[in-house]
Amino acid sequence: MKNRKIKASVSAFLIASMCMGVGCSSTTPTESSEITTIADVIETQDTEATEEGLGYEFGLGTTFHADEPVTYTMYFSDASWYPMVDTWESEGIFAKIEELTNVHLDLISFDSNDYMQNVTLEINAGSAAYIIPKIYDDSAFVDGGAIVPISDYVQYMPYFTDFFNTYNMADDLRTITRANGKYYKLPGMLEEPLINYSFMIRSDIFEAAGVDVPAMEEDWTWDDLCDALIQVKAYMVEQGMCTEDDYIWSDLWCGNQSGQGNGGNLLKVMGITYDVNAGWGIGNGMRYNPDSDEFYFSPTTDNYRAMIEACHRFIEEGILDPETFTQDDDVALNHFYNGETVIVSVNQGQVANYTSHLDEQLGAGNYETYIVTPPQGTTNYSTAGAERLENGVMISQNALDELGEDGFIQMLRFVDWLFYSDEAYTLIKWGVEGETFQYNDDGTKSLLDGYCCSGLGYASTSDDDVDIRLQWGYACGNYYYGGTVEEMSDNFTDAVASYVNRNLEYRERPPLAPPVAPTADENEEINIIATPLISNVNSWTLLFVTGQADIDAQWDEYVASCSDADSLTEMYNEIYSRTA
């Protein structure tokens, strides 16, 4: 049984971090009576009760239910590591949604590896499904008229409106609002960013080598981590566990499969701690300086150079395998599972999977692990970042054209329930109470005996266990993201809750950058400049990190090759001054 008492500390740190990171309002969240966007005030008259005579039920505390059966088309991003099977629709998550709401979802499934490519093709062809989830960047779709400017309609969405008001999301929504004052994506909204990606270490080997990570991680730096790994490697060589020529860190999410040619997760995590854009977070390179109230191109700054030097040191010292930035993810995992390496990137959804494989390879009880607080760079920033928006949902213009306004609003009531109600969140994540999970005496949740779910952190303990994600599609990442801290943490194992708590305690949330809203023409011009510029940055960065280029001798050459950053910065600040 999982120990959920640690939640109290999550909540305590949350209150403190919200006050320090964004400033505490003089009024309580529940006193808010309106949603303020850049363009207007959204009325909230629909949040109180179900209207009669509409042909459906809706409203806060009410399950959406259509009087007559209705069908909506919706895309589905099908992950190969937990692919959709027939039982998801016949008896699992989609059957349960239909039982509750009288809505049948006509799913159009694409493999997750080319999901966005296929969705983009269909949108451009004018044949888009009504509901388009799992959208990270909507910028390619806002100008063609194929996507509804959803900010015009959120007054019909009481659950969305309630979360927005309760957690003061106005500044966050401004970051996705376009130059015309509208936004086109319904984002997953977070009460507070919680760290996801960190590093799992073989704590038994660290301790045997005399390295006490829990005692040093509150204020350790990347150099401290490198020094610790040098000490661990020396111990491993002495014990015959590896040779001087072996690497004891080989990482995933950085190479051919998922690294995107920019260093992936590792450089993103490091970049946040140095207050620069890097890796998965490279974007267009622009970063906000609150002191000067201007944006600047971070990949040519001293902080960016310091990040590169810190990462390169791991390779120079023989710790990090340079093939990390080219290899497939399974290569790194296999090194960790068989005991060749002692540190690897991890996220909340992979902890149980890692443990299961380590048990298979090394044997349960023959190892110990610990998830660390990521080190500091030039800042004490949390790698959870400042953003409180997740990927989200777009609504096709086809839905409005084909359903008509009344039918369209009815669909939005359903979308509102599906993506923003507590009831749907629990169903999609945990399944059905009494069938797959139970509420414990202290109010926490746990899976019933005979069930497991690696996505929730519940590893299989028997060959007879049924994985609720594989069998029925619960805990599937397509349709639940965001939420309150309580919702996001209700499945945390002790190990996950521990590193989330430590991150909240030890690190501070970065400031949220203000919005920059280019016009369609300006956005196209930005992309024309930024695309080759960022490709050049990524190429040089990996050359420096792996030692194929000498940062001392060639840094100035690299900076000179980024000369287009000047015009990008000038344009960006001109747009920002207009937006502000």
Domain tally for the chain? 2
The pLDDT value given to residue 27:
30
Confidence band, pLDDT 50/70/90 cuts, at residue 12 = very low
- Contacts (Cβ under 8 Å, ≥6 apart) of 377: 221, 222, 270, 273, 274, 275, 303, 306, 307, 310
255/446 Cα distance (integer angstroms): 36
Residue 287 located in a structural domain: yes
Span 553-571, mean pLDDT? Answer: 98
Residue 496 located in a structural domain: yes
The pLDDT value given to residue 53:
77
The tens digit of pLDDT for each residue in 155-212 reads 999 999 999 999 999 999 999 998 889 999 999 999 999 999 999 999 999 999 999 9
Residue 303 C-alpha from the chain's centroid = 24
Span 481-501, mean pLDDT? Answer: 91
279/259 Cα distance (integer angstroms): 8
Residue 1 located in a structural domain: no
34/44 Cα distance (integer angstroms): 7
515/517 Cα distance (integer angstroms): 6
The tens digit of pLDDT for each residue in 237-263 reads 999 999 999 999 999 999 988 888 999
> Does 55 score more than 90 pLDDT?
yes
The pLDDT value given to residue 470:
96
The pLDDT value given to residue 166:
97
Closest CA to 201 of 185, 184, 220: 220
Output 143 or 216, whichever has higher pLDDT. Answer: 216
Span 390-404, mean pLDDT? Answer: 96
Residue 296 located in a structural domain: yes
Task: Give the residue carrying structure tokens 């990171």.
Answer: 21
**Same domain (yes/no): 428, 282:** no
First to last CA, the chain: 51
> Does 22 score more than 80 pLDDT?
no
The pLDDT value given to residue 45:
41
Span 8-15, mean pLDDT? Answer: 41
Contact 70, 410 (CB under 8 A): yes
**Same domain (yes/no): 96, 202:** no
**Residue-number span of the structural domain to which 267 is assigned:** 198-383+518-579
482/408 Cα distance (integer angstroms): 24
- Contacts (Cβ under 8 Å, ≥6 apart) of 360: 337
Output 79 or 393, whichever has higher pLDDT. Answer: 393
Please, what is the angle between helix 397-420 and helix 93-101, to 10°?
A: 100
The pLDDT value given to residue 168:
95
Contact 209, 235 (CB under 8 A): yes
Residue 462 located in a structural domain: no
The pLDDT value given to residue 291:
94
**Same domain (yes/no): 408, 377:** no
The pLDDT value given to residue 535:
96
Q: Is 547 helix (H, G, I), strand (E, B) or coil?
A: coil
| pTM, full prediction | 0.80
State which amino acid sits at residue 196.
N
CATH number of the domain bearing residue 158: 3.40.190.10
> Does 148 score more than 50 pLDDT?
yes
Residue 456 located in a structural domain: no
> Does 486 score more than 50 pLDDT?
yes
**Same domain (yes/no): 174, 251:** no
**Same domain (yes/no): 318, 377:** yes
444/194 Cα distance (integer angstroms): 19
The pLDDT value given to residue 34:
38
Percent residues over pLDDT 70 in the chain: 91
> Does 553 score more than 80 pLDDT?
yes
The pLDDT value given to residue 494:
87
Residue 492 located in a structural domain: yes
**Same domain (yes/no): 100, 218:** no
Burial of 521 per CB tally in 10 Å (0-12, 13-18, 19+): exposed
Cα 402 to Cα 34, 130, 155, distances in angstroms: 31, 9, 21
Output 279 or 455, whichever has higher pLDDT. Answer: 279
The pLDDT value given to residue 52:
61
Output 20 or 156, whichever has higher pLDDT. Answer: 156
**Same domain (yes/no): 360, 410:** no
Span 438-448, mean pLDDT? Answer: 94
Closest CA to 5 of 438, 444, 447, 437: 444
**Same domain (yes/no): 140, 269:** no
Span 416-433, mean pLDDT? Answer: 97
The pLDDT value given to residue 432:
97
Span 1-30, mean pLDDT? Answer: 35
Q: How many CA atoms lie within 13 A of 533 on its CB side?
A: 25
- Contacts (Cβ under 8 Å, ≥6 apart) of 394: 132, 135, 138, 141, 147, 148, 150, 184, 185, 186
The pLDDT value given to residue 550:
98
The tens digit of pLDDT for each residue in 70-118 reads 999 999 999 888 899 999 999 999 999 999 999 999 999 999 878 999 9
Contact 345, 265 (CB under 8 A): yes
Average pLDDT of the chain, as a whole number? 90
**Same domain (yes/no): 372, 395:** no
**Same domain (yes/no): 334, 264:** yes
The tens digit of pLDDT for each residue in 258-314 reads 888 999 999 999 999 999 999 999 989 999 999 999 999 999 999 999 999 999 999
**Same domain (yes/no): 482, 537:** no
The vertex-334 CA angle with 328 and 335, nearest 5°, equals: 100
Here the tokens at position 89 are 């629709």
Confidence band, pLDDT 50/70/90 cuts, at residue 51 = low
**Same domain (yes/no): 234, 313:** yes
Residue 460 located in a structural domain: no
The pLDDT value given to residue 467:
96
The pLDDT value given to residue 3:
33
